[in-house]
Structure 1
Amino acid sequence: MTRVAAIVPAHNEADSIAATVRSLLDQPVIEEVLVVDDGSRDLTAFEARRAGAQVINLLRNRGKGSALEAGFRATGAEFLLLVDADLGGGAGEVARLLPPLFRGEADLVIGRMPPMGGGGFGLVRTAARQGVTRLVGEAPRSVLSGQRAVSRRAMATLLPLAGGFGAEVGMAIDAVRRGLRVKELPVDIFHRPTLRDPAGFIHRARQLRDVASAIWARRSSR
């Protein structure tokens, strides 16, 4: 049985996905890389497959939460790495999140990425942390980080995931409610920044919408 698999949800990431896949495959501990092509209109699937990943094709864009679930169903790995598609050559750094799982010290390990200036992420992050704290009394510092390591057993208890960009926030709330042990570790990884242009503002608005939806749904289910 595969011990470690990386699940990479990807939507229109043809420019970065190959470097991300290669960086993950360079880590001996990662035995399988699954890219879930979430209805991309570019060559994401082609580039991912050419770089050595297994590719799961979703015919329409279903959002990050659904893409992660599709990856989970496609592998029987004991431990999972959840990895954003735009990390490029630094993606292999996520392997540093695995040891606490191997040692039985945690069920979910969140990668704490270096702070970035000028990306406009602060509003969404602040809203997410405040919402999570109100519901469960605590929130990871990197509550929105998409870089995570999780045991298969723990992941199964977290399904179904919140929709779209609310997946990470939903996991943070549900992990506490279900008694999972959550740990954060620093990782030396940098995202491609979200620009301050119309596309960037639309992206942040969608993030905020999905985060608010995930929090509201869990507020209603207390």
Structure 2
Amino acid sequence: MASPILLILGAGPNIGTHVAKGFAAKGYRVALASRKAHALDDVIHIPVDLSMPESVPNVFETVKSTLGAPPSVVVYNAAAIYPYHQSDPLSSLDAATYTEWMSVNTLSALSALRQSVIGFKTLPPSCSKTFIYTGNMLNIKHIPGMMSLGLGKVSTAFIIQYLSEIEEYKDDGISFYYADERTSDGEPVFNDISGSAAADEYWKLAERKQQGPWMHTFVSGHGYKDFGDGW
């Protein structure tokens, strides 16, 4: 049987690169979808603008036509933060700006979820069928200046939780996770994100045979830790 496939949408230089290298070292074929190509060996790059959700299906079609199968693990790692007037955020919020925020942070993720499940259902039972959304603490904690990102994280966290509880998906061996790195005391890591820790945790999630806690909070060097703040 051919090696399984990992697809990362929003493949940045930290989490995206570490996860790609980690899975490749364990035998996965890797496809990276982003605006800019990254200098990684033995991966395919698929250009995509995730502010345009309608472009997402083509990414999955390209993976299948190029590598011969749909991805068995999909990581949505894209995020968009837009500046606004912090003391009066509504003064700088219009429909076009809101749509762009939500397209990158949620709507393209929703499209990727749909395409992932379509592909997962065609894979053999032995394959991993795992969707991981790179989240943070904004789905439960208000942080000043983060409204644009927080709107997307809250929305997508709801979707991930909702899907993780659907029995039909569980019966098909499909799992959904909102991955959130924390400090040891449960606070957000902000910019101190550990790409290597994410690679370790995402691998563990891909190897699980059944759906685990949908909100996968973890600490670098420790692994999964339940801080008691899941919904």
TM class by shorter chain equals 0.3 to 0.5
Higher CA-based Rg: 2
The structure carrying a bigger helix percent of its residues is 1
Normalised by the length of structure 1, the TM-score is 0.39
